[in-house]
Structures are given as C-alpha cells and as structure tokens.
Structure 1
Amino acid sequence: MIYKRLEFNVHGDDRGSLIALEQFQSIPFAIKRIYYIYGTKDNVRRGFHAHKKLKQVLICISGHCNLLLDDGYEKTDIFLNKRNIGVYLDRPIWREMYNFSSDAVLLCIASEIYDESDYIRDYSEFLYCIGKEN
C-alpha cells in the first residue's frame, strides 16, 4: 500500500467538536513543521514532487481536494473531505494535489523542517531514486 489512512478521534458535545493531534500518538512521528494550503484557484494542480526522507500527514480540514499518490509502481487517487481522516506518507511517494473546492484547507504535518535538498521535483529522478528507471 502506498499510504496509511489515519482516523483521528473526534471529541464533541453541544458546544462543537475538537480533534487533537499529538506527536507519537495520533501523528506517528515528531512534528517539526506544520503548514497549510488554501485559496487554490480552480483547475490548479499542486505538488508534483516527492521527498527523500520526510514523513508527512495530510488532512483536508475544510472543503475537499484530491490527492494522487504514485510510488513508481502503483497510483492511488484519494478524495479528501473529512476533517478526521489523514493520509500518512512515510517513504518517497510522488504526490499531486488537485480538485480543490473554493473553501479547501489542506493541512500538512511534517517530520522535518523545510529542506529543499529533500525534495525530488523531477519524475524521472524520482523513479531513479526508488530504483525504478523508465
């Protein structure tokens, strides 16, 4: 399987709902960086990269979007539209995000701080890095 699906506990009552995310509990690594993507225009695709060592959890906390994952052997398309569902990526996976609703907010939780040298931005290089050449 290309990814692991994480389901987060929802705590709520008549006041509303809360989801707590904790490192080494609901998030299976030490959290070093959190960022989010929002305001994505119609028909815009994002991502187009993989990471060499970074681990990541992606959660669409508002609206919806699609996540196309590719490990060089298998492609999986995931529709993200639930605030309590995350996608855990723990190895080099090519990713593309698209089909963002106007209210989409994609939360990204990362195991490392930003490091450009960890990115693989060329698909042919990605295939080479995972040992699968065209």
Structure 2
Amino acid sequence: MSLITLIDFPPLGDGRGSLVALESHQSIPFDIKRVYYIFGTQKGVSRGFHAHKQLKQVAVCVTGACRMVLDNGQQRESVWLDSATKGILIEDMVWREIHDFTDDCVLLVLASEHYDEADYIRDYEEFLKQ
C-alpha cells in the first residue's frame, strides 16, 4: 500500500484566472485548525525531519515545486509537489522530509490540530521505536 495519497483540487475560474477552494471535510479530509506556509527556503536546504503522533496534514505547493518524502518506518516514498491543484495527505505517525525546493516555492500546509510541541517526534530513531 502506498504512503502517497494525492488529492486533486479542481480549479474553478474563467478568463480572469483560476481559484482553488480548500474546505474541511470536502476537499480536505479533516477539520482545518491551523494553516501555515513555507517560503524563501534557500537552495540546498531541506525541511521537515519529523513525524506527528496525532496531527494530520495536507500540503500543497501553491507555486514552484518541492519533493516530499514520506516514511512509515517500513517503507519510504517520494513525490514531487509541483501543482497548485494537487495536494498530499500526510497521516499521523508518518515521518516527513521536504527536499529540492525551487527558488519560488510556497508550500501551504493545512493541519488537523493546533500547534503542540508534545505531538512532534523529531528523532528518527525514536520514531522507529513507536
């Protein structure tokens, strides 16, 4: 079974441009309690390197591209996020790494819970023991 669950967000729009709507329990499979975005990541820098005990997320590259690596301790998969109409569902207890950011990358993340440092697992060896 693949760790990669991509979500297609149908664009709405007309000759003036496009719009993508992200809604709890519609296009996003959980209540959205927190939204943040990552931008300005310098070339060669990778991010993530953690898992969450309970938090679920959907990540969308609204501009530019980056490569997401997901790992459940038994399998490791990679996918490019390079479209504002494609998101990736990241379940709880999945290690995530983000690599190869383009200069213009803006990665939007929708989270099922508010920020809670106690929910993070930041050490890969500790993650494997869970």
Shorter chain as denominator, the TM-score bin is over 0.9
Q: How big is the shift at 1:40? A: 0.2
Q: CA RMSD in A?
A: 0.7
Q: Is the 8 A contact 2:4 2:79 kept in 1?
A: no
Q: Is the 8 A contact 2:6 2:89 kept in 1?
A: yes
Does structure 1 residue 78 correspond to structure 2 residue 79?
yes
Write the distance in 2 (CA, Å) between the matches of 1:89 and 1:110.
Answer: 10
Q: Give the match for residue 22 of structure 2.
A: 21
Write the distance in 1 (CA, Å) between the matches of 2:80 and 2:94.
Answer: 17
CA offsets per residue over residues 69-102 of structure 1, 9 Å max, x none?
1111111111110100000012211111010011
SS at match of 2:118: helix
Q: How big is the shift at 1:3? A: 3.2
Q: Give the match for residue 110 of structure 2.
A: 109
Provide runs of 4+ in structure 1 moved above 6 Å.
none
SS at match of 2:104: coil
Superposed, 1:59-78 pairs within 5 Å as 59-78=60-79
Q: Give the match for residue 132 of structure 1.
A: none
Write the distance in 2 (CA, Å) between the matches of 1:79 and 1:25.
Answer: 23
CA offsets per residue over residues 43-63 of structure 1, 9 Å max, x none?
001000000000100000000
Q: How big is the shift at 1:20? A: 0.3
SS at match of 2:36: strand
Matched residue pairs, number? 129
Q: Give the match for residue 123 of structure 1.
A: 124
Query: Which consecutive residues of structure 2, in runs of 5 or more, have no partner in the other structure?
Result: none
Query: Which consecutive residues of structure 1, in runs of 5 or more, have no partner in the other structure?
Result: 130-134
SS at match of 1:107: strand
Identity %: 51
Write the distance in 2 (CA, Å) between the matches of 1:81 and 1:118.
Answer: 28
Q: Is the 8 A contact 2:64 2:106 kept in 1?
A: yes
Counterpart residue identity of residue 116, structure 1: E
Q: How big is the shift at 1:2? A: 1.2
